[in-house]
Amino acid sequence: MDQTLQVIRGTLYGQAIGDAFGMPGELWSRAKIQDYFGEINDFLDGPESNEVAKNFTKGQFTDDTATALVILDSLIATDFQPKQADIAEKLIQWGEVNQAFEKEIFGPSTKAALLGMRAGKCREELGVITNQAITNGSAMRISPIGLLFTPDEATALIDYVTEITATTHSSDVAIAGAVVVAGAVSYFTQGRDWADMLEFVYHLHDLALSKGAETYQASIKERIKLGINLAHRFQNADQLFLQAVYDLLGTTTLITESVPAALAIAYYAQDVTHCAKLCANLGGDTDTIGCMACAICGAYQGFDQIDSAWVELIDEANAVNLENYAQAIYTRFKEEGKLYE
């Protein structure tokens, strides 16, 4: 398997694994996860007492990965030319089929934007909704988009991510956070290491902020820097590190918390298995932080380094074929002469 396909498959399965592994305790506090599970060390069914996770069983990924694939469906259908109307239509269709509106499966910003579109609101009315979106829906489903670009295509990546993200999230932090996640994945498409990846995503972050509507939120970049410092400070001390991330970075659905948490944990773990376990036991938006962090680790490690039993479970538990998506992305990458040998 060539390096490019390793990265593509690693990213897709990393995203799905982090999502499914983090699902059982999603939106529970760190203390509640510890009281209920002790420690999550394997894929589990969503507990009936968890209002969101109860909709999923062992190995199933949530709306994070499902809507990432919906976006890929739209891009494949439009020859990878992003069209917001088509993305929105497909997201609404997925939401209706899966009762995502009724079961509170969609996040608040995505739900508000899609309901507005379904109700026929005009562009100006929708802008009021999307410009205020500061939650992490933009970033949780963006990692596969990083696979379409090399690190030398920073401007094109930012513009592409902005176009897709603005369907539901058009604030400065929502776009910048999504660009950071996609950029981290993109960085590894050419076989590069962690050494310069952080400086790359910091640069992308600063460029991307101007693409969205201004908000008064904390800096994603500065919080990532804090998270990297925590990773060094608590090296090989998992629980101390997780508690510091939980206390200092935050792990809510705010994009200014969850993206820095995901980058910090990915940097600390640099391995899908370790990363998934850390994120699942973190507390807060565990499935979303898990899918972003594990997608980055999967891009870095490559598919062959991911536990094959975990890959088999993802394939068995979800009614999609991730290989089809991998091949579509690979074909696009190859056609554009970007393969890394």
Q: Which domain holds residue 242?
A: 3-335
Q: Is 64 labelled a binding residue? A: yes
- Residue 341 in domain: no
User: At CA 141, angle to CA 166 and CA 50, rounded to 5?
Assistant: 115
Q: How far is the C-alpha of 89 from the C-alpha of 84, rounded, in Å? A: 8
* Mean per-residue pLDDT, 307-330: 97
Share of the chain above pLDDT 70, in %: 99
- Residue 311 in domain: yes
Q: How far is the C-alpha of 264 from the C-alpha of 270, rounded, in Å? A: 10
- Which of 27, 105, 22, 104 minimizes the C-alpha distance to 58? 22
Is the pTM higher than 0.85? The answer reads yes
CATH number of the domain at 331, please.
1.10.4080.10
Question: Does residue 341 register a pLDDT over 60?
Answer: no
Q: Is 62 labelled a binding residue? A: yes
Q: How sure is the predictor about 335, in pLDDT bands with cuts at 50, 70 and 90?
A: confident
Q: How sure is the predictor about 1, in pLDDT bands with cuts at 50, 70 and 90?
A: low
For residue 95, give the DSSP letter.
Answer: H
pLDDT tens digit string along 170-221? 999 999 999 999 999 999 988 778 879 999 999 999 999 999 999 999 999 9
Question: Does residue 146 register a pLDDT over 70?
Answer: yes
Residue type at 77? A
- Residue 178 in domain: yes
Q: Please tell me the predicted confidence (pLDDT) of residue 123.
A: 82
Domain count, the chain: 1
Higher-confidence residue of 25 and 341: namely 25
Q: Is 45 labelled a binding residue? A: no
pLDDT tens digit string along 81-132? 999 999 999 999 999 999 999 888 899 999 999 999 999 998 888 898 999 9
Q: Please tell me the predicted confidence (pLDDT) of residue 104.
A: 84
SS3 string, 304-326, reads HHCCHHHHHHHHHHCCCCHHHHH
- Residue 61 in domain: yes
- Residue 294 in domain: yes
Q: Is 63 labelled a binding residue? A: yes
- Residue 293 in domain: yes
- Residue 340 in domain: no
Q: Is 215 labelled a binding residue? A: no
Q: Please tell me the predicted confidence (pLDDT) of residue 340.
A: 66
List Cα–Cα distances, 62 to 48, 116, 180, 318, in angstroms. Answer: 15, 23, 22, 10
Residue 81 phi, psi dihedral angles, 5° rounding? -100, 105
- Residue 220 in domain: yes
Q: Is 287 labelled a binding residue? A: yes
Concatenated DSSP letters for 178-214? HHHHHHHHHHGGGT--STTHHHHHHHHHHHHHTTSB-
SS3 string, 125-175, reads HHHHHHCCCCECHHHHCCHHHHCCCCHHHHHHHHHHHHHHHCCCCCEHHHH
Q: How far is the C-alpha of 162 from the C-alpha of 174, rounded, in Å? A: 9
Q: Please tell me the predicted confidence (pLDDT) of residue 295.
A: 98
